[in-house]
Amino acid sequence: MSVAALPQWLADSKRQTRVWLLAGAVLAAVAGGLYGLENLSLIPGRVGAAVVGNIGAYGTEVKDVLAWAETLDLRSGQARRWTRQECQFGYRQSFFKSHEGRNFIITRAAFSLSRSGAVNTKYRDVQEHFAGRSIATPTLAQVREAVSTIRRRKLPDLARFGTAGSFFKNPVIPRDKYAALAARFPGLPGHDEGNQLVKVPLGWLLDKACGLKGAWRGRVGTYAEQALVIVSDGGTAAEVEAFARELVQAVKDKAGLDVDWEVEKLG
């Protein structure tokens, strides 16, 4: 992966290897005083996969900072560079998740970062983290540490449980529909997405409306600290899928919302 203006921090080959992992790229950027990736701290996986899924967390998505991506066409062996617009990003979506896009493997990516940016602390968890520590103007490094701390608290130990992280997409609904839901479920958070759309935290609904945070069905369940995360303690793929269908139906019954998977089913 190429990151514009990375400092000498990346000079040795071991550190260059680390930036193939998204967490390594974030660490390198923050170490170099470059703004843009810090809210994606501690997300497991490689940079290429992050581009494919347009991964996001705490108000930042890959599409916000990607400059370009390079691919290898599995059919012809040809290399190609794609602009951000050509990647056709959407919510946890890109061209590379389409039927045609699966013919390409991402080999490199570049991010457009800034030395004079501003940290993004608009998400409630991040705001509460700094409020509890009386930090009014957090630094770049402090935001990275805050996001890392929040993720460690909300996500399971990968050495203990099998998990794909957030299993479902958060529903994005019209503002009037959100207002009606908020009247039914007081305290329902909502994140303004523009164009009269609001993103509803599905984990909140699974917890508060459906009572399914920490619920288990045999060897699979929702994580005790975050209902959006399905965990497995030796469960099979069939068990995970059956449980996921149950969660989708519960949200439909309680809130009238359709829920899409964020994870990709293979095979």
Tell me, yes or no, if 166 is annotated catalytic.
Answer: yes
Is residue 246 annotated as part of the catalytic site, yes or no? no
DSSP, residue by residue, the chain? -EETT--GGG-SHHHHHHTTBHHHHHHHHHHTT-BSSGGGTT--SBHHHHHHHT-EETTEEGGGTEEEEEEEETTT--EEEEETTTTT-BTTB-GGGSTTGGGEEEEEEEE--BSS------SHHHHHHHHTTT-SS--HHHHHHHHHHHHHHHS--TTT-EEEEE-BPPPEEEHHHHHHHHHHSTT---EEEETTEEE--HHHIIIIIT--TT-EETTEEEETTEEEEEEESS--HHHHHHHHHHHHHHHHHHH-----BSSPP--
Q: Under 8 Å CB-to-CB from 18, ≥6 apart: which residues?
A: 24, 27, 28
Told to judge if 92 belongs to the known catalytic residues of this protein, a careful annotator would answer yes
Active-site residue, selected from the candidate residues 61, 94, 144, 166: 166
CA dist 22 and 148 (Å) reads 13
* Catalytic position from the list 38, 61, 70, 262: 262
Residue of 46, 92, 144, 151 marked active site: 92
Point out the residues that are catalytic. Answer: 92, 166, 262
